[in-house]
Amino acid sequence: MDHALKFYINGEWVDPAISPITTLDVINPATEQPFTKIAMGTATDVDKAVAAAKAAFESFSVTTKEERLALLKRILEIFIRRSDEIGAAISQEMGAPLAMAKAAQAGSGTAHLMEAIKAAEIFEYAYMQGTTRVVHEPIGVVAMITPWNWPINQIAAKVAPAIATGCTMVLKPSEIAPVSAILFAEIMDEAGVPKGVFNLVHGDGPTVGVALSGHKDVDMVSFTGSTRAGVSVAQTAAPTVKRVHQELGGKSPNIILRSADLDKAVRTGVTRCFGNSGQSCNAPTRMLVPQEAMDDAIAIARDAAEKFRTGDPNSANTDLGPVVSQLQFDKIQDLIQAGIDEGAELVTGGTGRPAELNAGYYVRPTIFARVGHDMRISREEIFGPVLSMIGYDDLDEAVEMANDTVYGLASYIQGDLKEAQALSKRLRTGNVYINDAPWDGAAPFGGYKQSGNGREYGVFGLREFVEIKGIVGFEE
């Protein structure tokens, strides 16, 4: 990690502005041991990075679509070449099983770059509306604050559309999982991104995140993380009236209809809930099951959960790695204990590590059944491999419980296609996934209510990074 103690500002790897530098250990969650250190930035480093981005905006904002497409294609080519290296870094920094980290975690970066290229090729940057010329122009300098759970996914989902639209940017990746971001910066440098267009400063939220969010020369903040942190970002940004895009928390319902193949639907629901060790904001963590099918659903869910193998991310036999940190582990343990204390039926799993593991932030894959709608495990985002099974009598009750949450990121429906399509209109979420539909990197991604504002991915992502200008009386 040659660049771990440096920041990428104005096209160069530079030392932090203030000496002696403050460093932070980066912990491998599978071993609980540090494997590298990063430098932690200050407001002074943010000022330098923002100044570089502001200066670069003048020229980059007027580049042609073709020039930006050529740049994105160079970035994609290098990213693909280094994809396995990025996957290995993600596995080490946040614990994803190595095969999954390479295929899905790093693979999502490839997908977002490809989708941004497709979107930029068809995006209407300008068009006539009567005698008015409507122009989409880059919004300016964008601060990007990204999370640890899908680190490259969220970096690529922000950086690629920003470049496609002519914006410049400063990235603050999660200090918990920063190594993949360093590799991404190296890719940007090798691709020949113009100086100042892309900048990277490491640091924590209270220091670097606050400095970016409130900076007078930052025109937009694009934030992905918890709802609590998203509120703080928005409050800090408010005095400068900048745009704030947020993708925040979730507590996604999975409605299993009476028309569903129960065995398939329950197994699918368990798998999607447990993916990435449950550390996905759109995970279907609340399974809504017809009351009369609950006993059978419990037996299926228990069997599905107990087939998951938790352990060393480097082992080809591992399905679930550790969660990312001691803080997350402790939070999950607290919520599992709350489920037990509040009287939910513990189907499998429970508190503590799996018996065969004595180190690492490993959580036992856990399922609760007959969960009360008002229990903490039904209301709070757990962000671990914990599923709550909730019974319903009729579909109106299922919809009411599904929507009765502060979140609105995603929902899932299993069953007859026509019935599911009709039901999708009643769910207050940014995405609805029907019958285990595969991920779509061009579908709009974002949430209702406290799950955020704005959308990412494909053309929808490009729209977030532009201002709209109307030139009235324009004649072609």
Tens-place pLDDT, residues 141-180: 999 999 999 999 999 999 999 999 999 999 999 999 999 9
Q: Which of 247, 381, 456, 464 is catalytic?
A: 247
Q: Which pLDDT score is estimated for 475?
A: 84
- Using a cut of 0.75, tell me whether the model's pTM lies above it: yes
Q: Which of 167, 273, 281, 464 is catalytic?
A: 281
Give the Cα separation of 208 and 435 in Å (integer). 41
Q: Which pLDDT score is estimated for 2?
A: 82
User: Which residues are within 8 A (CB) of 164 and not within 5 positions of it... i.e. 6 or more apart?
Assistant: 68, 69, 72, 116, 117, 119, 120, 123, 462, 465
| In contact, 119 and 455? CB cutoff 8 Å | no
Give the Cα separation of 243 and 240 in Å (integer). 9
167 has catalytic annotation: no
User: What is the domain class of 253-434 according to CATH?
Assistant: alpha beta
137 has catalytic annotation: no
Q: Which pLDDT score is estimated for 144?
A: 98
Owner of token pair 């071993």? 31
Render pLDDT for 416-466 as a digit per residue (tens, 0 to 9).
999 999 999 999 999 999 999 999 999 999 999 999 999 999 999 999 999
Look at the domain 7-248+451-472 and name its fold: Aldehyde Dehydrogenase; Chain A, domain 1 (3.40.605)
Give the Cα separation of 189 and 431 in Å (integer). 35
Q: Domains of the chain: which residue ranges?
A: 7-248+451-472, 253-434
| In contact, 242 and 268? CB cutoff 8 Å | no
Q: Which pLDDT score is estimated for 1?
A: 62
Give the Cα separation of 10 and 445 in Å (integer). 31
Give the Cα separation of 402 and 396 in Å (integer). 10
Render pLDDT for 275-300 as a digit per residue (tens, 0 to 9).
999 999 999 999 999 999 999 999 99
